[in-house]
């Protein structure tokens, strides 16, 4: 019976070791190559925003432009694509045909609600919107979105917002206290922020259980403290909200920077 010499063992061992090494290298190249391709593909895709706006009381053309410019400063991807749906005139009621398509939010990274239709109240209508968000479409809600569907008795929209509000103070200057300076959305903001413009402080009757206040302000009228910036979880969707943004607050870079970071956060794109 022939016995294999020690040098034969060594050769076999070396060959096996060499082959395993090549295999490992191939796996690493394959994995690393695929993940960098995915990252590169993601970076080439534009950041897509659907902005729903229009209705009573505000300059939505100016606000849409301010939002786009603010996003261009923070988005790391190749482009920012804002689809502005500015419909409904300047009244307090509107039913948008957009929502008749059950896939109305498909393809967008985030939907921003900056509309103002307090007297539209059909729950079958606004549930077409809340249903999509509950299923996972990230939402950002600004200022008069909090009084949109205010006349409705059903709470679906308010649960999505994360707050219930029925009125606001008259327009005055007020300071904003940042409640959670560690939160990545408001990190770096002055702990006691004095916005450059006057605004309307929305009176918050209820902060919903999944909502968390990030900043608050004291009413000059009632002396009560109300959240003005918050995050919410609605079903599978992240929601970012602020009641600021009536008029010239949109010219304050601290506001637009916070808003754009909130939009990134809702979409899952905010790097800490």
Residue for token pair 């921003």: 112
Residues 201-260 that bind Zn ion (CB under 5 A): 246
Residue number, 179 or 200, with CB nearest to Zn ion:
200
Is 133 a binding residue for Zn ion by CB under 5 A? The answer is no
CB of 269 to Zn ion, least distance (A): 28
Contacts with Zn ion by CB under 5 A: the residue count is 2
Q: How far apart are CA 224 and CA 203, in angstroms?
A: 9
Residue number, 104 or 117, with CB nearest to Zn ion:
117
CB of 271 to Zn ion, least distance (A): 32
Residue number, 165 or 183, with CB nearest to Zn ion:
165
Residues 41-70 that bind Zn ion (CB under 5 A): none
CB of 106 to Zn ion, least distance (A): 31
69-77, 79-87, 196-204, 259-267 -> range binding Zn ion (CB under 5 A): 196-204
9-17, 82-90, 192-200, 206-214 -> range binding Zn ion (CB under 5 A): 192-200
Residue number, 183 or 249, with CB nearest to Zn ion:
249
Residue number, 37 or 251, with CB nearest to Zn ion:
251
CB of 96 to Zn ion, least distance (A): 20
CB of 164 to Zn ion, least distance (A): 17
Q: Which residues bind Zn ion (CB under 5 A)?
A: 200, 246
């Amino acid at each position: 019976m022939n016995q294999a010499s020690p040098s034969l063992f060594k050769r076999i061992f070396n060959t096996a070791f060499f082959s395993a090494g090549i295999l490992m290298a191939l796996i690493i190249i394959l994995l690393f190559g695929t993940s960098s391709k995915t990252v590169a593909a993601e970076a080439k895709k534009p950041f897509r925003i659907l902005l729903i706006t229009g209705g009573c009381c505000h300059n939505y053309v100016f606000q849409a432009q301010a939002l786009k410019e603010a996003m261009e400063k923070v988005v790391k991807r190749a482009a920012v694509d804002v689809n502005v749906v500015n419909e409904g005139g300047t009244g307090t009621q509107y039913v948008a045909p957009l929502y008749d398509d059950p896939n109305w939010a498909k393809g967008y990274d985030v939907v921003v609600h900056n509309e103002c239709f307090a007297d539209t109240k059909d729950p079958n209508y606004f549930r077409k919107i809340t249903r999509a968000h509950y299923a996972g479409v990230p939402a950002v809600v600004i200022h008069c979105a909090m009084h949109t569907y205010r006349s409705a008795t059903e709470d679906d929209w308010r649960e999505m917002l994360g707050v219930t509000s029925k009125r606001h103070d008259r327009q005055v200057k007020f300071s904003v206290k940042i409640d959670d300076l560690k939160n990545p959305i408001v990190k770096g903001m002055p702990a006691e922020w004095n916005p450059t413009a006057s605004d309307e402080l929305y009176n918050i009757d209820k902060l919903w259980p999944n909502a968390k206040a990030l900043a608050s302000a004291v009413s000059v009228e009632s002396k009560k403290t109300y959240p003005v910036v918050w995050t919410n979880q609605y079903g599978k969707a992240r929601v970012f909200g602020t009641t600021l943004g009536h008029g010239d607050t949109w010219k304050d870079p601290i506001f637009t920077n916070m808003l754009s970071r909130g939009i990134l956060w809702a979409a899952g794109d905010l790097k800490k």
